[in-house]
Structure 1
């Protein structure tokens, strides 16, 4: 029973620390979903290293020496506490590597020690109870699963990040103390049974090692690609990071707990149907509401991971190869995450890794069935999986040809995906900049409206009115560039400072759109996260500062906190204006804006501009200022507040996305 409790607790702590650390990193790295992807790579890599350590220790050392070495490792991990990160400089050319370095320093030692505990305990348990050794892995995944479920509901809403760090560190110390007692007790038991010598492992690779590697890698690729898909249009926060990871772990729990829960015919049929749905999700998923998107992506993920992990369990070896099995699973996970983090952005200009990972799951199912001599499954199952891949591939290729027919260019890097398209609507040629799946800039190349600001930035919007009314020789800052549309409001003598995180956005705005080149304002460009860059500059004394740094419908929450707002105000003149773009499909940010206005005692104006025939978007902007008189001219554009939700404020160490979800409000 003590072994079950310790395995459960170690897994709980392992997966509780992941969202804590990722959330600490967001302010330094732009707040995008790519931060979570890089974090997943770190945790997978350290899991691999810890499993390698566990395999070496259990197969080469006597039990007593294993206890001594691992006991010392836990002690060193405890000395590295408390966990936490220090703010980094603005990310350079390789931000993913900076994330890995920062996490290694902040949590590497305790995480490594914890991650090695489960496979070591299972190898020890096999010495006294060979039959139930693999069951411990199921209990381990239950701990991981509950950790992920508890974080967004029981931890994040109630504890600031600093308190989360100390709570986790305290639980680690408690775990280590109990673990020392377990080792002493277990050693005496093993000594009585005469099993304290080296493991029975004789070396060499199991003949199914490549299948283990491929199945585990495919499962993680589906997890990571699904997480990217879900969060590209919503804020990258723990709730939406952890749901896919929780479902991924749940499939491990189900498959390793009982083989009866994985029936090949059922799960093949389910995944084949869901693969077709995934093709449509890939292209038109953003047209669904957030609940429908999350539900459909979750179903696809769950079915695909059930197939990968169900076949993994069917192919598992006897306990002589137990630590090698887990080592190769960890290697597959690390390789799968690295493929999504580093390889996919270099190879694909769209998120093609998502459908490819699903197709890979079906193909691996076919291979596993053909290699399974013990269960003697009919070859028709393998053939059915191949047919399912072929049908899905044909559908995907047809849809892809339809949706990219208007594309001018596509660019992809660590910060996301940009697409420039050109469409002809009612004899009006429009060029559009699409970030993820959301239009972030429109320019009319010919026809009515040519040369005028369009879409979210049209003259009828609050930001358009504000910029038009600024006095001559205005100094304005813009956090977020998009297609550069707001540069159209620049007048001779104005100085416009653009802060842009993604270098591809700046390059595209200059090469594919004319707003920047045609602007009368003198322009200054600052590459890097806007908040991080401003924090290093002296007070800019802006007449106005415009915040529009959203990627798709996703919001970088670190730009909307109390500390961030305080920074913006320090760069404004006493009567300066702060405009914030809060248009969002899934989130109502007006209670947050009202909360910040109350906290800083700011006057605030809210306006919603409804879509028109030529402008296809409803647009929401707020403008805040220390000077109520400064907003007088904009009061005529004031719209009624869209909800009566109680105002709230986010801080760097505390934010709760559920407060802003539209389905959570009135």
Structure 2
């Protein structure tokens, strides 16, 4: 019964711990947008508090003993009620956020710091309490850690699939507060069971004095930290890579963390299969498989590629967390074990969220952590026969695909025999020979070599790269085409804009904003009005929309990323803003928050283009957001939403909001055929939704057959600041 009580209490505490993480991340997106850096910084905060909680558990139980410490802990838990319900206070002036990560860490500390710290202590603390009872399993309470991580996994997965689609954020915070109070009662019951259990020293004295526990060596502590560092860092590296280069959807923040937690459940459970040599033997398969995918730059089909990265993360987590589980110490060092494990996890998060954006100009965190993993994997496991077989097969397959890719790169793909020979030569080269000989002790370093080449390949500037810069919000790159005629702006692999370098055509908008496209049509309609008024654009990109200004007309561009603002205003890269015919100004900060400070009825047009990278800031698409835009629009003004997206269809939620507010809706889904002559002029298709108070505001677009009259779906729930379900917009088919 006591075992069940402790297990259920751990399950509840961990559920609350990981339910609050996506909830709080959602609270801060209105200020910092949907960048994966927001989630990674939140993870650093939570890992740091987890470390603080483990340090508290280690120090307090060692100082007070478990029984007296339980009274202290209950008092600390009760104080946590004073900090509920959880809330995040936005900054008074978002434009002043010179260091977004530091502001976010401070806001999280004030908003959720104490309650999260209290709950973070549960895993080591309750296991330590349990280890001092007279229960038969007290000598090895580590299995309770599996129950703890089941709760973590359930809490994390339940949020996007069960709670968020049905319950608003404010209600979520109230439910969390109620569950926290229930947790206090459950922890009190565990403390009562601890006090009722006979103390170990109350029994009859043993015939021989107990042996003093062996002290922990620093080498062993270092191994624990390293083995915890690798999967923690890889979790965030996979998150950044997948949500930037494959499918930039914030919903994909959650699966990597869920996989990370699931691995703890599997390796700390009583079954030993996930700590067996068969799991460790698959390590070379995952290592070289991921390195090959990165080197060849495979990005489709979405489901298979994303699944491959997630599967690799699961195996890496099983391997390194399995090493931790296999090397767990006696209960005397239980809290110390979790403390050093937490130190490694926190350092992994710190590296990815705070250090990597400073050290690396591009997203090469992923191959870097693969190199470290190759070196951190114990050499003795490389020598096992099963590992040698999987290593040989992995080198064979990976070498073939890499070799084939190299031959294609050098234009040799027409010679099928040459391509095959080159691929096989690379497959059967030195790595395989060394791996199968008596020099296999060199295998870790040798495996790191191709990974280093992969990271160099990803970091190596394009022959015509003009600029690369990584900020809190994104990794940006300016590329000059091979003929020198155009400059292109990329965020990861997503194009953000193009400009011709020829002075005669430099003010012709290209990419998604070209003259004969949907946005060009809209500006043509507005140009026929007798009087022009200012317009606003949320999302700067290259500043291409500035080319639509007329002499004397004002245009306000709202941009959350200072790096983008610097790039767009630098004439070495783009001159749309510098050469615009009107008065163009760039306003830093979240578009919605900055628009709220503008005068009412100022704009004839507001363009929402902050999500052309497909990372959706949902707070820009809610009922309250559209109501704010309407206040800033003139009576005949138009809202234009750029909804081009590879994985989300934003038309249904926007149309539903329009129906709720009684607005007129028109949409155009325009794609450029590869055979169209304009295709070679860097013109891209795009999807747009227009909202207006009346049909007159849209003029002839109302009767244009290219513009669809979308009707709202009555069954769809309206997105609000308190409720938004991204599954309403998710596209299963590409």
Give the structure-2-normalised TM-score: 0.84
Rounded Cα–Cα distance in structure 1 between residues aligned with 2:234 and 2:491:
22
Q: Is 1:603 equivalent to 2:608 in the alignment?
A: no
Could you give the per-residue CA deviations for residues 435-472 of structure 1, whole angstroms, max 9, x where no partner exists?
22210110122499554111100011221222233345
What is the alpha-carbon root mean square deviation over aligned residues?
Answer: 2.8
Deviation at 1:283, TM superposition (A): 6.9
Give the structure-1-normalised TM-score: 0.92
Rounded Cα–Cα distance in structure 1 between residues aligned with 2:197 and 2:327:
31
Q: Which residue of 1 aligns with 2:276?
A: 263
* Equivalent of residue 570 in structure 1, options 631, 637, 654: 631
Rounded Cα–Cα distance in structure 2 between residues aligned with 1:124 and 1:467:
69
Could you give the per-residue CA deviations for residues 284-308 of structure 1, whole angstroms, max 9, x where no partner exists?
35x4244234312211211221222
Q: Which residue of 1 aligns with 2:654?
A: 593
Most deviating of 61-70 and 633-642: 633-642
Kindly tell me the number of residue pairs found equivalent between the two proteins: 654
Most deviating of 41-50 and 635-644: 635-644
* Equivalent of residue 94 in structure 1, options 93, 99, 116: 99
Q: Is 1:226 equivalent to 2:282 in the alignment?
A: no
Q: Is 1:342 equivalent to 2:354 in the alignment?
A: yes
- Do the aligned partners of 1:59 and 1:200 also contact (CA within 8 Å) in 2? no
* Equivalent of residue 651 in structure 1, options 710, 714, 720: 720
Q: Which residue of 2 aligns with 1:73?
A: 76
* Equivalent of residue 407 in structure 1, options 460, 465, 478: 465
Report the CA distance shift for 1:38/1:663 in structure 2 as closer, same or farther (over 3 A).
Answer: same
Q: Which residue of 2 aligns with 1:416?
A: 474
Q: Which residue of 2 aligns with 1:242?
A: 254
Q: How does 1:100-249 map to 2 (within 5 A)?
A: 100-127=105-132, 128=134, 129-191=137-199, 194=202, 207-232=219-244, 234=247, 236-237=249-250, 239-249=251-261
Report the CA distance shift for 1:528/1:53 in structure 2 as closer, same or farther (over 3 A).
Answer: same
* Equivalent of residue 10 in structure 2, options 7, 10, 24: 7
Deviation at 1:13, TM superposition (A): 1.0
Report the CA distance shift for 1:359/1:272 in structure 2 as closer, same or farther (over 3 A).
Answer: farther
Report the CA distance shift for 1:382/1:187 in structure 2 as closer, same or farther (over 3 A).
Answer: farther
Q: How does 1:162-561 map to 2 (within 5 A)?
A: 162-191=170-199, 194=202, 207-232=219-244, 234=247, 236-237=249-250, 239-257=251-269, 258-264=271-277, 266-281=279-294, 284-285=297-298, 287-366=299-378, 369=381, 383-398=442-457, 401=460, 404-424=462-482, 429-446=485-502, 450-468=506-524, 469-470=526-527, 471=529, 472-511=531-570, 512-539=573-600, 541-550=602-611, 552-561=613-622
Report the CA distance shift for 1:498/1:283 in structure 2 as closer, same or farther (over 3 A).
Answer: farther
- Do the aligned partners of 1:594 and 1:648 also contact (CA within 8 Å) in 2? no
Q: Which residue of 2 aligns with 1:375?
A: none
SS at match of 2:641: strand
- Do the aligned partners of 2:669 and 2:688 also contact (CA within 8 Å) in 1? yes
Could you give the per-residue CA deviations for residues 340-365 of structure 1, whole angstroms, max 9, x where no partner exists?
11111111011111111122112101
Rounded Cα–Cα distance in structure 2 between residues aligned with 1:616 and 1:299:
37
Rounded Cα–Cα distance in structure 2 between residues aligned with 1:462 and 1:169:
48
Report the CA distance shift for 1:62/1:479 in structure 2 as closer, same or farther (over 3 A).
Answer: same
- Do the aligned partners of 2:274 and 2:318 also contact (CA within 8 Å) in 1? no
Deviation at 1:632, TM superposition (A): 2.1
Report the CA distance shift for 1:114/1:399 in structure 2 as closer, same or farther (over 3 A).
Answer: closer
SS at match of 1:119: helix
Report the CA distance shift for 1:615/1:659 in structure 2 as closer, same or farther (over 3 A).
Answer: same
SS at match of 2:724: coil
Report the CA distance shift for 1:203/1:270 in structure 2 as closer, same or farther (over 3 A).
Answer: closer
- Do the aligned partners of 1:279 and 1:396 also contact (CA within 8 Å) in 2? no
Report the CA distance shift for 1:381/1:366 in structure 2 as closer, same or farther (over 3 A).
Answer: farther
Report the CA distance shift for 1:271/1:43 in structure 2 as closer, same or farther (over 3 A).
Answer: farther
Report the CA distance shift for 1:644/1:616 in structure 2 as closer, same or farther (over 3 A).
Answer: farther
Rounded Cα–Cα distance in structure 2 between residues aligned with 1:457 and 1:498:
15
Deviation at 1:235, TM superposition (A): 5.5
Deviation at 1:149, TM superposition (A): 1.7
- Do the aligned partners of 2:67 and 2:191 also contact (CA within 8 Å) in 1? no
Deviation at 1:648, TM superposition (A): 4.9
Could you give the per-residue CA deviations for residues 316-371 of structure 1, whole angstroms, max 9, x where no partner exists?
22222111110111111111111111111111011111111122112101357599
Most deviating of 248-257 and 363-372: 363-372
Rounded Cα–Cα distance in structure 1 between residues aligned with 2:218 and 2:358:
34
- Do the aligned partners of 1:369 and 1:382 also contact (CA within 8 Å) in 2? no
- Do the aligned partners of 1:50 and 1:116 also contact (CA within 8 Å) in 2? yes
Rounded Cα–Cα distance in structure 2 between residues aligned with 1:333 and 1:271:
23
Report the CA distance shift for 1:474/1:79 in structure 2 as closer, same or farther (over 3 A).
Answer: closer
SS at match of 2:348: helix
Where does structure 2 lack aligned partners over 5 or more consecutive residues?
A: 204-210, 385-435
- Do the aligned partners of 2:536 and 2:605 also contact (CA within 8 Å) in 1? yes
SS at match of 1:131: coil
Structure showing greater Rg: 2
- Do the aligned partners of 2:15 and 2:155 also contact (CA within 8 Å) in 1? yes
Most deviating of 20-29 and 577-586: 20-29
SS at match of 1:102: helix
Rounded Cα–Cα distance in structure 1 between residues aligned with 2:305 and 2:717:
27
